[in-house]
Amino acid sequence: MQLSYPDSLPVCQLREEIIEVIKHHQVVIIPGETGSGKTTQLPKMCLEAGLGAAGTIGCTQPRRIAAIAVSDRVGEELQAPDLVAYKIRFHDKTSDNTIIKFMTDGVLLAETRQDSLLAQYGTIIVDEAHERSLNIDFLLGYLKNLLPRRPDLKLIISSATIDAEKFSRHFDDAPILSVSGRSYPIRTMHQEPAGSDENEDSYVEQAVAAVTGLANLPEGGDMLVFMPTERDINDTLDSLRPLFDQSHLLLPLYGRLPAPEQRKIFRPSHQRKIIVATNVAETSITVPGIRFVVDTGLARISRYNPRTGTTSLQVSRIAKASCDQRRGRCGRTGPGVCVRLYSEEDYLSRDEFTLPEIQRANLAEVILQMVHLKLGDPAKFPFIDPPPSTIIREGYRTLRELGALADEHHLTARGRLMAKLPLDPRISRILVEGLSLNARRETTILAAALSIGDPRIRPPEKEFKADEAHRQFVDKQSDFLTLLNIWNHCFNNPEEHFSKSRLSRLCKTAFLSWQRMREWMDVHEQIDRLLRVTQKESATAESASYEAVHKSLTSGFLRNICQKKEKNTYLASGNKEVILFPGSGLYNKGPQWAIAAEFIETTQLFARTVAAVDPSWLEQLGGDLCKRSWSEPHWEKKQGKVLAL
Ligand code: CDP
Ligand code: MG
């Protein structure tokens, strides 16, 4: 086979050295700038080093979209499309001819369950390792254990220019071969954001203004705009269309985009391109020829808050390293310009790096995945950053409470369902219960609500008007129903079609954050999609009973059960005294028994988002739990309280 390399890519300058080192070492670390050709060229170098003969060359990608794009590209470059294929969940395009196999890291992890030696592979390339998702950390730990048992297996770890030493140390000081990137000067402009809670002149509008400014500059070139979510991308394109549709090629780029649409970003065009992307364009996908970048500085990042015991999926500020990556996209082929829709102080105040997911996730979720994947004891697993043992124990306790574990190494049927939902296990538990109690619609909406912030706003000076506007939603028994009322107010009017302007109008009069409502809708869509994968039938239109909804919620928040002591003071597990949050609809009218979605410690310990529950449900939910696991938490009828929670 004729192997040719595009000389312009920096990684090709190191070709001979890389091939030499791969031949003589089991593990090699290759850090390099995004766009230097690692993903597309390294598999070919493995072929040239003769590794294709020993078994498949497997290359993992954090995202499906990248696996597909790169597989296409490498097939073309080799002029042998049948030798290169991809495998992602639900789509396996590999055949007996496949020598180079691109796949998501989740796919390779799942394969370890059947093929613990990964016998089909002669080489594994873990790409984008700097992302440090749970899957990548699981893979790097798994491979660490596997390598001594597979001395013939070669491992290449490629990443952006972060963390290389750490990877090397993890693999017994494996050699590091750095690819130096070429970069042209980039002019960076910071802009003060215009938005506030009251005047939600969103980053979408700001970005559109920035694009307009850049398009008027005399120097031509393609543009890349970073947005946090798919919905923002579509909104941005809607606003750009009337202005640029004639003169420019407007293209979205996000994870779920169908492959033919993705390919357009790589295709040469006589029109200038404006690509609006999520953070897939940060390092996963290198868009060629970008001269201008517009960066909102935002992404959807999931983060567990051990203080409140909840995981948020909010759109939040990305770390400095990500800002720099995004800016770097415009300096690859010539001098570039980057407009940041945030101030320089804002930039300087950001975290240096995004924390690895294992340090942001609820350990219960990590353990659930580990048991599901049969990865062995988390306390002994060779993690790059091992979690503290106290937090591991706490994670096990949560899973037992939720009835997900049959024993330390096996999941219950419910646990297996929960493992399919990459969410906080408490939320997964609620959703699973919601499915079985026919409360899918409500629990999906509430699960999404619990992952974002409260959509109600109280602008200074207007607190009274805001409270008045919010009163229409209040349910006196359950703050969860209050949330459902807000949802129904905005999204559930069959008479009127949903439209952006309508939502914006509704939000203004009801003192709701338009931004948060959109996020809520977005996360709801994501969760709904996840459920569709595990569950065939869709939600029924009928609304579920109070009991069905709140039993489901109780199943996830069993630990947050509280019993009234006096007026607004409650006793929670561990004899903790908690106060009803004054914003709760139950304030001053608290029921005997209640559950809370979270406890927040400020001046006092507050129970927030609360609902009245019937203690007999605890018996049903908790009883089940006792049978299924050997943990303590149980409902003690005689004493009338929850013990050992
Ligand atoms: O992995 P790394 O970021 O180092 O670079 P790469 O993904 O291998 O990309 C090398 C070059 O190939 C870039 O200029 C990409 O734009 C280009 N490429 C492409 O034109 N079409 C693809 N489907 C994939 C990459
Ligand atoms: Mg790459």
Distance of CA 85 to the CA centre of its chain: 26
Residue 628, pLDDT above cutoff 60: no
**Using an 8 Å Cβ cutoff, are 137 and 357 in contact?**
yes
Token pair recorded at residue 410: 């096996």
Greater pLDDT, 626 or 141:
141
What would the mean pLDDT of 570-576 be, rounded to a whole number?
88
pLDDT category at 645 given cuts 50, 70, 90 is very low
**Using an 8 Å Cβ cutoff, are 480 and 589 in contact?**
no
For residue 130, the ligand closest to its alpha carbon is 2
Non-local CB neighbours of 199 within 8 Å, separated by 6+ positions: none
**Using an 8 Å Cβ cutoff, are 424 and 311 in contact?**
yes
Look at residue 183 in the predicted model and tell me its pLDDT: 80
Look at residue 108 in the predicted model and tell me its pLDDT: 97
| Ligand 1 atom nearest residue 73's Cα | 23
pLDDT category at 312 given cuts 50, 70, 90 is confident
Q: What is the pLDDT of residues 369-412, one digit of tens each?
A: 999 999 999 999 999 999 999 999 999 999 999 999 999 899 99
**Which residue has the least CA distance to atom 6 on ligand 1?**
37
**Using an 8 Å Cβ cutoff, are 63 and 89 in contact?**
no
* Rg of the chain in Å (alpha carbons): 26
- Ligand 1 center to 272 CA (angstroms): 19
Greater pLDDT, 456 or 180:
456
Between strands 84-88 and 154-159, the pairing is unpaired
**Which residue has the least CA distance to atom 10 on ligand 1?**
37
What would the mean pLDDT of 318-326 be, rounded to a whole number?
96
Look at residue 493 in the predicted model and tell me its pLDDT: 66
Residue 626, pLDDT above cutoff 70: no
**Which residue has the least CA distance to atom 12 on ligand 1?**
37
pLDDT category at 627 given cuts 50, 70, 90 is very low
- Ligand 1 center to 507 CA (angstroms): 43
| Ligand 1 atom nearest residue 34's Cα | 3
Q: Give the full edge-to-edge strand order of the sheet including 336-340.
A: 186-190, 336-340, 290-295, 222-226, 272-277, 248-253
Backbone angles phi, psi at 156, to 5 degrees: -120, 130
The number of beta carbons lying within 10 Å of the beta carbon of residue 149 is 10
- Ligand 1 center to 136 CA (angstroms): 21
Distance CA 265, CA 139 (A): 30
Residue 195, pLDDT above cutoff 60: no
Q: Which residues line ligand 1 (CB under 6 A)?
A: 9, 32, 34-40, 69-70, 72-73, 266, 286, 288
- Ligand 2 center to 150 CA (angstroms): 26
Distance CA 388, CA 145 (A): 20
Q: What is the pLDDT of residues 413-424, one digit of tens each?
A: 999 999 998 889
Look at residue 211 in the predicted model and tell me its pLDDT: 97
**Using an 8 Å Cβ cutoff, are 473 and 454 in contact?**
no
For residue 73, the ligand closest to its alpha carbon is 1
Q: What is the pLDDT of residues 261-280, one digit of tens each?
A: 988 999 999 999 999 999 99
Look at residue 495 in the predicted model and tell me its pLDDT: 57
Distance of CA 607 to the CA centre of its chain: 27
Q: Which of 68, 279, 286 to mutate to test the pocket of ligand 1 (most atoms within 8 A of CB)?
A: 286
- Ligand 2 center to 283 CA (angstroms): 6
**Using an 8 Å Cβ cutoff, are 70 and 61 in contact?**
yes
H/E stretch holding 304 reads: strand 303-305
pLDDT category at 620 given cuts 50, 70, 90 is confident
Token pair recorded at residue 380: 């002994």
Q: Which of 73, 161, 264 to mutate to test the pocket of ligand 1 (most atoms within 8 A of CB)?
A: 73
Distance CA 607, CA 601 (A): 9
- Ligand 1 center to 227 CA (angstroms): 21
pLDDT category at 498 given cuts 50, 70, 90 is low
Look at residue 180 in the predicted model and tell me its pLDDT: 85
CA distances (Å), origin 583, targets 500, 511, 578: 29, 15, 14
Range name among 214-223, 300-309, 532-541, 636-645 with the lowest pLDDT average: 636-645
| Ligand 1 atom nearest residue 127's Cα | 1
- Ligand 2 center to 39 CA (angstroms): 4
- Ligand 1 center to 287 CA (angstroms): 7
Look at residue 601 in the predicted model and tell me its pLDDT: 84
Range name among 193-197, 305-309, 323-327, 453-457 with the lowest pLDDT average: 193-197
Distance CA 191, CA 210 (A): 9
For residue 31, the ligand closest to its alpha carbon is 1
- Ligand 2 center to 282 CA (angstroms): 10
Q: Which of 8, 9, 40 to mutate to test the pocket of ligand 1 (most atoms within 8 A of CB)?
A: 40
Please provide the average confidence, as pLDDT, over all residues in the chain: 90
Q: What is the pLDDT of residues 66-104, one digit of tens each?
A: 999 999 999 999 999 999 999 998 899 999 999 999 999
Look at residue 492 in the predicted model and tell me its pLDDT: 78
- Ligand 1 center to 378 CA (angstroms): 36
**Which residue has the least CA distance to atom 18 on ligand 1?**
286
pLDDT category at 578 given cuts 50, 70, 90 is very high
Look at residue 332 in the predicted model and tell me its pLDDT: 85
What would the mean pLDDT of 187-201 be, rounded to a whole number?
72
pLDDT category at 196 given cuts 50, 70, 90 is low
What would the mean pLDDT of 637-645 be, rounded to a whole number?
44
For residue 9, the ligand closest to its alpha carbon is 1
What would the mean pLDDT of 583-609 be, rounded to a whole number?
92
Residue 314, pLDDT above cutoff 70: yes
Nearest to 337 by CA among 180, 243, 220: 220
| Ligand 1 atom nearest residue 332's Cα | 14
Q: What is the pLDDT of residues 13-65, one digit of tens each?
A: 999 999 999 999 999 999 999 889 999 999 999 999 999 998 999 999 999 99
For residue 333, the ligand closest to its alpha carbon is 1
| Ligand 1 atom nearest residue 287's Cα | 16
Burial of residue 359 (CB within 10 Å: 0-12, 13-18, 19+) is middle
| Ligand 1 atom nearest residue 40's Cα | 8
- Ligand 2 center to 42 CA (angstroms): 10
- Ligand 2 center to 473 CA (angstroms): 48
**Which residue has the least CA distance to atom 7 on ligand 1?**
39
What would the mean pLDDT of 188-207 be, rounded to a whole number?
76
Residue 145, pLDDT above cutoff 60: yes
**Which residue has the least CA distance to atom 8 on ligand 1?**
37
Greater pLDDT, 256 or 291:
291
What would the mean pLDDT of 173-199 be, rounded to a whole number?
82
**Which residue has the least CA distance to atom 16 on ligand 1?**
288
Look at residue 239 in the predicted model and tell me its pLDDT: 95
Look at residue 8 in the predicted model and tell me its pLDDT: 87
pTM of the model: 0.88
Backbone angles phi, psi at 44, to 5 degrees: -65, -40
Please report, rounded to a whole number, the percentage of residues in the chain having pLDDT higher than 90: 71
What would the mean pLDDT of 419-438 be, rounded to a whole number?
93
Look at residue 550 in the predicted model and tell me its pLDDT: 97
pLDDT category at 618 given cuts 50, 70, 90 is confident
| Ligand 1 atom nearest residue 288's Cα | 16
